[in-house]
C-alpha cells in the first residue's frame, strides 16, 4: 500500500470521527543525541488494539513527511527504512542514527477498531552532547580593591547550551554592580576584587541530553599582611628550656617574617623562632611581617621572662639530707661544748682540792706538782723511818715539810 495513501485513510477516519483523545499519548518534548537512538513511546494505561497507526514528521518549513503507516500492512518511507523500529502492540516508534536534521515535531494517529481515534505530538530536539568545559581568567595578577577579572567559559562540543555559574556550592544568581554575567552566560566579571572573591568558581554547561561542569578556578587576590599574631606556649620559661615563638599573619602571597629583640636587632627569620633560654633572653620580641608585592608590613610584640628556679627548687631527698646534717651538726657542737665545759670544771676542782690540802699543812704548798713531790717525800720518809732518821735535806723548806708529814711513832 502506498504510504501517503495509507496515511490519508487514517487522516480521513480521524476527520470523520470529529474528535481526538490523545492527551498524554506522547511526551511534549524529548531530547536525542546525535548518532544515538530515541524512543517515541505511546503511553497508554491499558493494552491498545489498533486498526491502523500512522507516524509523520513536520519540518520547520511546514512540509509533512510520512514515516510509517500500519493498517492491513506496514509501510515505511525509504529514508527511514533502516532507521526505525515500529512496535505493533503499543504503536511506539524508535528512531536511530539521529542527526541534527531529525529535530522537529513528530505526530502519531491511532485508530482503534471500536473507539475514538488517538492523536499525539512530540517535539524532538536532537543535540550534541556537552564536553570539554573549561574556565579561563583574563588575568591572575589581582590586587585587592584595585583589580578586576573576567572569567570565560568555553566548551569543545555541545549544542543548545545553557550556562550556570557557581561559587563553591552556591549558584551566582544575585548580580550586582560588582558581579556581572554576560555574553549569553559565557562570562563572569568581578570588579574591584577582594580577598573574599577567591571562589572556587565553576561553569556548569548543559543541554537537554547532557551536562558537564568545569574544573574549579580559585582566584588569589594579592593583599596583606593583616591580623598578625605571635603564639607562645607560655610567657615565662626557665633557664635551659626551649624558648619557642611562632608568628602568623594573613597575606597573599605568604608574608616574610623577621624576628627582632628589644633593641631592634635581627635575631631570626621565618615563622618560627627557637633557642635555648638564658637570663639574657628576658625582654620583648618583635615579629615583623612583610608582603613583598604590596610592600606593606605589620608587626607584633611579645614579652618573655626567663627565670632561674634552680636554687629554690630542692628535691625532698635534698631537703631531708640538709635537715639530718643540721641535726648532726647541732649534736656534735653540743657534745663538744659539754666536753670542754666538763674538762674545765674538773681542772678547777682538782686545783681547789690541792690548795685546800696545802693550807692544812702550814700553807706552804702552792700547786699540785709541789704537793705531789712532798707526798712522795713523806712516803719515802715513812718507808725509811728506821733508816737514817736524822738525815737532813739540803732544802730547809722541804726538810720542814718532811718533819711535819712524818707519821706519828707507833
Mean pLDDT, all residues of the chain? 80
Chain segment 179-215, per-residue pLDDT in tens: 999 999 999 999 999 999 999 999 999 999 999 999 9
Least confident of 152-166, 190-204, 357-371: 357-371
Find, among 56, 31, 53, the residue nearest to 44 by Cα. Answer: 53
In this predicted structure, what is the pLDDT of residue 325?
79
In this predicted structure, what is the pLDDT of residue 403?
39
Select the more confidently predicted residue: 360 or 172: 172
b/e map 85-118, b = 16+ CB within 10 Å: ebeeebbbbebbebeeebbbebbbbbbeeeeebb
Residue carrying C-alpha cell 634552680 = 310
Instruction: Output the pTM of the full model.
Output: 0.64
pLDDT at 11 over 50: no
Q: What residues form DSSP beta bridges with 212?
A: 205
In this predicted structure, what is the pLDDT of residue 228?
96
Q: Count the neighbouring beta carbons within 10 Å of the beta carbon of residue 251.
A: 24
Find, among 25, 52, 51, 36, the residue nearest to 94 by Cα. Answer: 36
Largest CA distance in the chain: 201
pLDDT at 129 over 90: yes
pLDDT at 61 over 60: yes
Residue 396: pLDDT band by 50, 70, 90 thresholds?
very low
**Distance between CA atoms of 402 and 379, rounded to whole angstroms?**
9
379: left (phi over 0), alpha (psi -120 to 50) or beta: alpha
Chain segment 305-340, per-residue pLDDT in tens: 999 876 555 556 656 777 787 888 888 888 888 787
Amino acid at each position: 500500500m502506498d504510504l501517503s495513501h495509507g496515511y490519508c485513510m487514517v487522516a480521513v477516519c480521524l476527520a470523520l470521527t470529529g474528535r481526538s483523545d490523545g492527551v498524554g499519548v506522547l511526551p511534549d518534548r524529548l531530547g536525542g543525541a546525535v548518532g544515538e537512538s530515541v524512543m517515541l513511546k505511546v503511553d497508554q494505561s491499558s493494552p491498545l488494539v489498533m486498526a491502523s497507526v500512522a507516524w509523520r514528521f513536520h519540518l520547520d518549513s511546514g512540509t509533512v513527511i510520512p514515516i510509517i503507516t500500519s493498517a492491513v500492512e506496514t509501510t515505511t518511507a525509504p529514508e527511514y527504512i533502516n532507521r526505525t523500529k515500529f512496535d505493533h502492540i503499543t504503536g511506539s516508534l524508535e528512531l536511530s542514527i539521529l542527526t541534527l536534521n531529525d529535530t522537529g515535531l513528530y505526530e502519531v494517529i491511532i485508530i482503534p477498531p471500536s473507539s475514538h481515534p488517538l492523536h499525539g505530538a512530540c517535539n524532538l530536539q536532537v543535540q550534541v552532547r556537552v564536553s570539554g568545559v573549561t574556565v579561563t581568567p583574563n588575568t591572575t595578577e589581582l590586587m585587592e580593591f584595585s583589580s578586576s577579572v573576567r572569567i570565560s567559559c568555553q566548551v569543545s562540543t555541545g549544542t543548545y547550551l545553557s550556562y550556570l555559574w557557581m561559587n563553591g556550592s552556591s549558584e551566582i544568581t544575585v548580580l550586582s554592580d560588582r558581579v556581572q554575567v554576560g555574553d549569553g552566560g559565557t562570562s563572569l566579571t568581578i570588579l574591584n576584587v577582594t580577598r573574599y572573591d577567591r571562589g572556587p568558581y565553576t561553569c556548569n554547561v548543559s543541554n537537554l541530553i547532557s551536562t558537564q561542569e568545569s574544573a574549579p578556578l580559585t582566584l588569589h587576590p594579592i593583599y596583606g599582611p593583616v591580623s598578625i599574631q605571635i603564639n607562645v606556649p607560655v610567657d615565662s620559661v626557665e633557664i635551659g628550656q626551649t624558648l619557642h615563638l611562632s608568628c602568623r599573619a594573613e597575606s597573599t602571597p605568604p608574608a616574610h617574617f623577621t624576628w627582632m629583640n628589644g633593641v631592634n636587632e635581627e635575631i631570626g627569620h621565618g615563622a618560627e623562632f627557637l633557642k635555648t633560654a638564658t637570663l639574657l633572653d628576658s625582654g620583648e620580641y618583635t615579629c615583623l611581617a612583610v608582603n613583598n608585592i604590596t610592600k606593606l608590613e605589620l608587626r607584633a610584640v611579645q614579652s618573655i621572662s626567663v627565670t632561674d628556679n634552680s636554687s629554690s627548687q630542692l628535691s625532698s631527698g635534698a631537703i631531708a639530707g640538709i635537715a639530718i646534717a643540721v641535726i648532726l651538726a647541732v649534736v656534735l657542737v653540743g657534745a663538744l661544748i659539754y666536753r670542754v665545759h666538763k674538762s674545765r670544771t674538773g681542772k678547777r676542782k682538782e686545783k681547789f682540792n690541792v690548795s685546800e690540802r696545802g693550807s692544812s699543812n702550814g700553807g706552804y704548798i702552792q700547786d699540785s706538782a709541789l704537793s705531789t713531790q712532798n707526798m712522795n717525800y713523806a712516803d719515802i720518809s715513812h718507808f725509811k723511818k728506821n733508816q737514817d732518821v736524822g738525815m737532813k735535806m739540803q732544802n730547809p723548806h722541804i726538810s720542814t715539810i718532811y718533819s711535819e708529814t712524818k707519821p706519828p711513832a707507833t
